[in-house]
Amino acid sequence: MNIVTNKILGKWTEYTISNDHGISVSALDFGGIITKIMAPDKNGKLENIVLGYKDYQDYESNPHYFGAIIGRVAGRIKGASFELDGRTYNLEANNGENHLHGGSGGFHQIIWKVFPFKTDSEAGLKLTYKSADGAGGYPGNLDITVIYTLNNEQLIIDYLATTDQTTPISLTNHSYFNLSGNLKNTIHDHRVTIDSSRFVEFDKDLIPTGKLADVEGTPFDFRSGRILRTGFDHCFEQNLIVGNGYDHYFLFDHTSEFQAIIEEPDSGRMISVKTNQPGLVMYTANALENGLQLTESISRKHHGVCLETQGSPASLYNDNFPGILLNAGDRYEKQTIFTFQVLKK
């Protein structure tokens, strides 16, 4: 039976949606933050598979963006500015000289209106927010809806938006997955598959150079699956630049049924990702410091992997990237589906 429950946490509310198989997803109205996903392992044991804080007040600052909705634009915007129709728009420089994840007042820091729903086959949360013209430096009044829907096999995230002026928009969810369950291990032995033959090259400041690099013969070739530790331990320059791991945009080939797959051999858990987004940023928690009190454990570097399906902000200053501009009268409609599976014993 699909159900929705809620719990008041001071000025916030946490909602939990559950399905017939024991899978549940908990999310706050603050930031739309997914705080917990309970999923079975190969023996049927339910454990949490995402990173979250033990003390919910730590979400107030949330410098690692655990579980949050990111926007207006996910990722870094070079020089904290962009040009549109001959005008320069200046944004907050909250990541060195650059603008990251919508700035300090981005969608990860706002209270969303939440409307729970359920049917015979699914349960969900509809989150809405109106972002005013000029908010964060961005043009246009933007009406946003994000929908979390859980059925018996999948978590579906729909991102919908309209604007009255042309504006950049690229929404994503910043959940860190760890399929070992209850953060027992790091993600070194997670196996990831990505339907991508090109990734975006970084300079030393983690800003795209404009080059789409070929994955062939590099630790960025995930087309047939790769254990993450092979990139953590590699001396390849692009791995070293981001702190021995991955924080890169992969442009999808869209030649496979799923655009990405994560597998963890010990637990038998697997998540397949399907989306109409042009690519994803895979971030492997390279900058996650040791010692944070998480729900079930103390944080460590490489304790989770984010699969941030999104457009690339580099398209604002590179013509060879898929665009992220939404025009007045058009509708932003993006969807990402996470299918939960268990590998056979």
Per-residue pLDDT of 112-132, as tens digits, reads 999 999 999 999 999 999 999
pLDDT value of position 345: 61
Instruction: Report the pLDDT averaged over residues 141-165.
Output: 97
pLDDT band per the 50, 70, 90 thresholds, residue 1: low
pLDDT digits (tens, 9 = 90+) for 253-292: 999 999 999 999 999 999 999 999 999 999 999 999 999 9
Contacts of 330 (CB under 8 A, 6+ apart): 162, 163
Q: How many CB atoms lie within 10 A of CB 231?
A: 24
First to last CA, the chain: 27
Residue 299 structural domain: 3-342
Looking at beta carbons, which pairs linking 239-245 to residues 24 or more positions away fall under 8 Å? 241/202, 241/203, 241/204, 241/206, 242/202, 242/206, 242/286, 243/286, 243/287, 244/286, 245/283, 245/284, 245/285, 245/286, 245/302
Instruction: Report the pLDDT averaged over residues 92-118.
Output: 96
DSSP class of residue 229 equals H
Report how far Cα 274 is from the mean position of its chain's Cα atoms: 13
Query: What gap in Å lies between CA 157 and CA 278, rounded to an integer?
Result: 16
The Cβ-side half-sphere exposure at 45, using a 13 Å CA radius, reads: 12
Q: Let me know if 60 is a catalytic residue.
A: no
pLDDT band per the 50, 70, 90 thresholds, residue 10: confident
Q: Let me know if 99 is a catalytic residue.
A: no
Find out whether 67 and 52 touch, Cβ atoms under 8 Å: yes
Output the average pLDDT for the chain.
Answer: 96
pLDDT value of position 170: 98
DSSP string, 10-32: TTEEEEEEE-TTS-EEEEESBTT
Catalytic residue among 14, 263, 264, 308: 308
Instruction: Report the pLDDT averaged over residues 330-343.
Output: 97
Query: What gap in Å lies between CA 62 and CA 66, rounded to an integer?
Result: 7
Catalytic residue among 174, 248, 302, 303: 174
* Percent of the chain topping pLDDT 70: 99
| Residue pointed to by tokens 């997803």 | 25
Instruction: Report the pLDDT averaged over residues 314-343.
Output: 95
pLDDT value of position 173: 98
pLDDT value of position 110: 97
Instruction: Report the pLDDT averaged over residues 293-300.
Output: 96
pLDDT digits (tens, 9 = 90+) for 15-66: 999 998 899 999 999 999 999 999 999 999 999 999 999 999 999 999 999 9
pLDDT value of position 205: 86
Q: For residue 130, what is the domain's CATH number?
A: 2.70.98.10
On whether the pTM is more than 0.85, the answer is: yes
pLDDT band per the 50, 70, 90 thresholds, residue 3: confident
Q: State the total domains in the chain.
A: 1
